[in-house]
Each structure stands twice: as structure tokens, then as C-alpha cells.
Amino acid sequence: MKPKNRLSIVLLLILFMLLAACGGGTQEPATTEEEPATTEEEPATTEEEPATTEEEPATTEEETVTEEAEEAAPTEAPAEEEAAAEETEGERKIASFIFTQEFDTLSPLYTGMWFSGITAQIWNAWAWNFDSKGNPVPVLVTEIPSVENGGISEDGRTLTFKLRDDITWSDGTPITADDFVFTYEMIVDPNNIVSSTYPYDQIESMEAADEHTVVVTFAEPFAPWLATLWHGILPAHVLRPVYEADGTLDNADWNLAPTVGAGPYVFAEWESGSYARFVRNENYYGTPPNIDELFIRFVPDDASQTAALVAGEADLGTFIAYSDVPTLQDAGLEIITQPSGYNEGWFFYLDPENGHPALQDVRVRQAIAMAFDRATLNQDLLLGLTQPAATLWDNTPYVDPTIEPWPYDPEQANALLDEAGWVDSNGDGTRDKDGVELVLVHGTTIREIRQDAQAVAQQQLAEVGIGLDIQSFDASVLFGSYGDGGPAATGELDIFEWSDAPDFPDPNKAYWLCSEIPTDEYPDGSNWQKLCDEELDSLFQLQATQTNFEERQQTFYEITRFMFDNVIWLGLWEDPDVWAISDRLENVTFSGATPFYSIAEWDLSQ
């Protein structure tokens, strides 16, 4: 019995050791299985922070390779690295903005769209910005030229710009006078179908006196230079080779992906129809931005923007519909209104050959102004938060002080239409003359407030016998140039509506110059109304040469009175910039001319 018991004991000891060995082996995989769980959590974060999507998968793949290649000892190292990576990612500040219109392009040469233009202070640079009070603030220049500092010649024709010697492009290349001259050359070159050559086509000569000095000479004194020159600079070292190869910049990749810029942020990505990203410029010559990344999300309408802001999915929204202001305020967002010179209004197509004959008669245009109750529109649709605009220059010192908005007077509107010979001869409810029905095609964007205004106007004009065929377009279509076949630029619309401004904070506007009427030879002309009135044209040309404030003011009194009496433009409502910001954004200030002028100073609480 004893020998048998000893054998049993030996066998039991061997079995116990084997089980212990197996038990020790099972503990290591248990630790290894926990690692993928951490890896699986990261994609959930990347959905909320799209900016980091491209970086995190690369790290995840490296961790997986490490885990498979090494056994027990290395298992703690990847976990430490991952924790450090998560901590670093958690410290990154990503601000999310909402835009209700997507960029048409990012090149300053090819856009007149507000949503594209306001990004200039993010990734590019103006030679100077304007602060919240409309004062110029040097950015690329050392000082604003003046007669006192020698920057403006005695005759007012020559401007000398002194550039800072520490400014660089985001790739580290110095910004020099050559970039300014190249920008000018590309704007006026007929091989580039730019949005407008104005005011560079007024320049007589441009030269780089040295690496940091640009000298501009106009044919005549040019008063609005401060508000119209150098709205974005082109990197010559990037785009000159493109121009030399293609003979144009029209199709340059940089237009849609300007990976080299001059602002506090650098372009990173633009996913058409979805979002755009701008990340901190590590070579920025100014104060380094506090926020690491700006994520701009494109949404189709005001309702989508409001929903995103209320849900806390964005830190900033703009172009806020007045009707949404109470909802946003109730959700805890701050509403900031910034005067920007913008006013919503109607532009009339006045081509004497191809336009609707009724609109050639000022009495018809005056009747339209008095048949549309814009005061009630402002109360009902805009909650009384704004008021009808009388001129494009409202709330500036350049408006004839005797001008008041057209009153709502359908009785007088009917009398004017009768006097003009537009009567309902066939009893169909719509006035006509010489076999032409008084039906006008009205077009605007798909923005809800504009479509609501269209419906109100259609109903009220019908009451005086004017038919309104209302149409709406995506902004990229409506604002298409003459060369692009845009419906407003090519005369497909009798009335077109949007919000516009002079060259704020300067009162200058080139729209109504005869020379700006677009043609096949000049497809980038901005006078889409095709109005060429010698008196008005001479007044606009005169004001541009007047450097004395009082003299220029008097000229604008004449301009505003002429345009008001002749209903060249009909104001619907005053339209300052309305911004909604979350309580996470800090140090936020806006400018009417360069909204994001202080973007580097903004901060984001976590």
C-alpha cells in the first residue's frame, strides 16, 4: 500500500504543477484582451472630433502591431503610450463653427461670396484688418500709409506700403513685395477670369521698390483704397509656376486647397458638402492662436444651424435668422450683432434691350416699392429686431438725411401703374401693356427667411395687379458670374435679392459703373443690373477721387437721393451680422469688415 500511495502523491504533485503552470499562462492573455477594448473606444471620439480622424488610426495600427509582436513584458508600454496620446488629444482645443453656405472657392481672386471671404483672416491675410470699431489695424504692413508718414503722395495718387520684415507664409517662405506685385498681376491678367478686377484696374503702375516696399500709383486719387486693396495675397512661389505652366490660375489646385497661407491657421481639409478644417499655423508671425483647430461644418439651412447650436454641437453660428434669435437665447447662446454695412434688398434688371419693359419705367419701380409692406414684414418675419432699409448706405454718414423708406401705399401704387399705362385689359387679374403681361421673375437663395419674404411680396404685389414668379437657387448658382451663366448676372431674373454692402467701412461701390456691365469680352463685370446712367456713373467716379470727407459726403448725398428716387435698389431690411456663440468660446470680438480679425485671441474652455 505504501509504494502505491507514494506514486499517487507524486502524480498529484505533478498534476498540481501542470495546473499551476496553465493557470499562470491564462493570466497574460487576460491582460492582452483588455487592450483592444481601449482601441475600440477611440472611433467613438473621432466621430465627435473629425479633425483627429486621420491621426488616430495610425496610432491604433502601431499599437496592434506591438501587441502581436511582443509578449508579456511589453504589454504595459503600449498602454502607457496610448494613455499619453489620449491625454495629449484631450488637451487639443477644437472649435466647431456652422456655416449655412459652403464656400464656392477659397481663392480671393475668384469669390465674391461672404462665407468664402470671411475665412481670409483665418488662413490668409489682408494687408490690414479692421477692428470692431472700424479702425484699420496693420497686419502685413508696418503702418497704414498717410500723408503725414509719407505713405501717400501730396497729389493723393501714389501709395507706399512698408512690409514687415518678419512675415512668412505657412511653409516658412518669407512674404515679400514680390507676392504683392504678383497678386496684382494675376488680378488684372485677362487670362484669369477673376470675380472682379476692381480696383486694381484703376492702378497706373505697381512696383516692388525693394523686398519690403510696394509702391502703387493710381491714374487719379483713389479715396477707397483703404477698404478695397489687398484682400488676400497670393503666394508667388506656389502659384507662379502654375501660371507659367498653364497660362492661367483658373484651375489651380490652390484655389480649393490653399495649403500654403498666411493666417494664424493653415488649410487642412475641405470635404465638399460636409466640412472644412483649419489647423494652427506653426509658422505664424503673429500671436500664436489659442485654439488648435477650427472645424467648419456646412449645413443646408437656418433650421439645421439652429438645431446644431441648440444641441451644443457647435460653438459658433452666423447669418442667424432673426426668427431664431429667441430660441438660441433660451438655449443659452449669446447673440452678438455687429454692424457691417449689409442691407437686404432687391436689385432690378434694367437692361433697356433685354429687360422687362415695365421695369424701364421708374413709375412701375416706385409702385412696386409702395405695394410691398416692408415695415410689417420686419415686424412679423423678423420679430421687429430690425427695420426697412432706405438705402444701401443706411447707418453711415453718407446718406442724404432727408431720405425715409418708401411707405406702404397700395392706392398710390395703383395710381402710378395706371399712369404708366399698365392696366388689366384682359381681366385675368394681372396688368398688361402692348400684349406684355406684368409678370416679373424674382430669384433669391434657398434661405428660409428669403423664401418667406418672396411669398409675402408675391401676395401683396398681386393685389395691385403685378405677378411675381418666385424662384430660389442654391447660393453657388444664384451668385454665379456672367461667365458661369449665373441667373442674376445673365438676365434670367427681373428682380434678384440678397444682402449686400458697400466697401465697408468705406462707402464706395462699383456695381453701378457703366464699365462694370458684364459682356462676353468682360465676363467678370459686377453690374448685373446692366444699368448705365451717365449722371449716376459720373457721381460714382467723382466720389472715388474725393479725399476730402465733406466733399465726398455731399456727392454721396446726391448718389443716395438719385438711387432712392429712381428705385435702383429697394431695401427690405437692415442686415447687420448676427452671430451666435456658445459659452465655451472666450475673448470673442467681431468686426464688420473683417469678422475674424481677432481669431488668434479667441479661446475655448474645455
**pLDDT, average across residues 121-148:** 97
- Both 273 and 392 in one domain: the answer is no
pLDDT tens digit string along 224-272? 999 999 999 999 999 999 999 999 999 999 999 999 999 999 999 999 9
**pLDDT, average across residues 488-511:** 96
pLDDT tens digit string along 436-470? 999 999 999 999 999 999 999 999 999 999 999 99
Mean pLDDT: which of 27-36, 39-48, 56-65, 94-103 is highest?
94-103
Strand order in the sheet with 334-338: 265-271, 275-280, 293-298, 94-99, 316-318, 577-581, 334-338
What is the total count of domains within the chain? 3
- Both 309 and 416 in one domain: the answer is no
- Residue 139 maps to a domain: yes
Report the alpha-carbon distance of residue 319 to residue 316 in Å, rounded.
Answer: 11
Q: What is the pLDDT of residue 90?
A: 59
- Both 287 and 360 in one domain: the answer is no
pLDDT of residue 180 exceeding 90, the answer is yes
Query: Where are the extended beta strands (E) located within 145-300?
Result: 158-162, 203-210, 213-218, 265-271, 275-280, 293-298
Q: What is the pLDDT of residue 37?
A: 34
Kindly give the pairing relationship between strand 213-218 and strand 203-210: antiparallel
- Both 169 and 298 in one domain: the answer is yes
For the ranges 51-65, 168-182, 512-526, the lowest mean pLDDT is seen at 51-65
Q: What is the pLDDT of residue 91?
A: 83
Q: Which three cell numbers stand for residue 598?
A: 481677432
- Residue 496 maps to a domain: yes
Report the alpha-carbon distance of residue 147 to residue 158 in Å, rounded.
Answer: 10
- Residue 39 maps to a domain: no
- Where residue 147 sits, what CATH number does that domain have? 3.40.190.10
**pLDDT, average across residues 360-384:** 97
pLDDT of residue 20 exceeding 70, the answer is no
Q: Which of 36, 5, 100 is nearest to 580 (CA)?
A: 100
- Residue 213 maps to a domain: yes
Q: Is 421 left (phi over 0), alpha (psi -120 to 50) or beta?
A: left
pLDDT tens digit string along 466-492? 999 999 999 889 999 999 999 999 999
- Torsion sign (Cα): 344, 540, 397, 231: positive
Range of the domain at 180: 97-339+578-604
- Both 470 and 559 in one domain: the answer is yes
pLDDT band at 328 (very low <50, low <70, confident <90, very high): very high
Burial of 601 (0-12, 13-18, 19+ CB in 10 A): middle
Q: Which three cell numbers stand for residue 317?
A: 453660428
pLDDT band at 28 (very low <50, low <70, confident <90, very high): very low
- Residue 72 maps to a domain: yes
- Both 231 and 363 in one domain: the answer is no
- Residue 384 maps to a domain: yes
- Both 366 and 502 in one domain: the answer is yes
Q: Which three cell numbers stand for residue 212?
A: 519690403
Q: What is the pLDDT of residue 112?
A: 86
Percentage of the chain lying above the pLDDT 90 cut: 82
Residue after which a domain boundary falls, among 91, 108, 137: 91
Crossing angle, helix 302-310 and helix 448-462, to 10 degrees? 140
- Both 333 and 351 in one domain: the answer is no
Mean pLDDT of the chain: 87
For the ranges 53-67, 281-295, 354-368, 480-494, the lowest mean pLDDT is seen at 53-67
Q: What is the pLDDT of residue 17?
A: 42
- Both 447 and 476 in one domain: the answer is yes
Q: Residue 15 carries which DSSP code?
A: H
Q: Residue 32 carries which DSSP code?
A: H
Q: What is the pLDDT of residue 73?
A: 35
Kindly give the pairing relationship between strand 495-500 and strand 334-338: unpaired
- Both 167 and 81 in one domain: the answer is no
- Both 84 and 202 in one domain: the answer is no
For the ranges 35-39, 90-94, 552-556, the lowest mean pLDDT is seen at 35-39
| 3 state SS of 160 | strand
Residue after which a domain boundary falls, among 91, 111, 139: 91
Q: What is the pLDDT of residue 89?
A: 52
CA angle 354, 405, 374 (to 5 degrees): 75
Q: What is the pLDDT of residue 81?
A: 41
Q: Which three cell numbers stand for residue 172?
A: 516658412
- Where residue 421 sits, what CATH number does that domain have? 3.10.105.10
Q: Residue 7 carries which DSSP code?
A: H
- Residue 49 maps to a domain: no
pLDDT band at 592 (very low <50, low <70, confident <90, very high): very high
Q: Which of 556, 592, 575, 570 is nearest to 401 (CA)?
A: 556
- Residue 68 maps to a domain: yes
Residue after which a domain boundary falls, among 91, 110, 139: 91
Q: What is the pLDDT of residue 3?
A: 38
pTM of the model as a whole: 0.79
For the ranges 16-20, 72-76, 252-256, 435-439, the lowest mean pLDDT is seen at 72-76
For residue 129, what are the CA distances in angstroms to 134, 229, 458, 505, 599?
9, 11, 41, 11, 12
Q: Which of 365, 462, 354 is nearest to 417 (CA)?
A: 365
- Both 582 and 571 in one domain: the answer is no
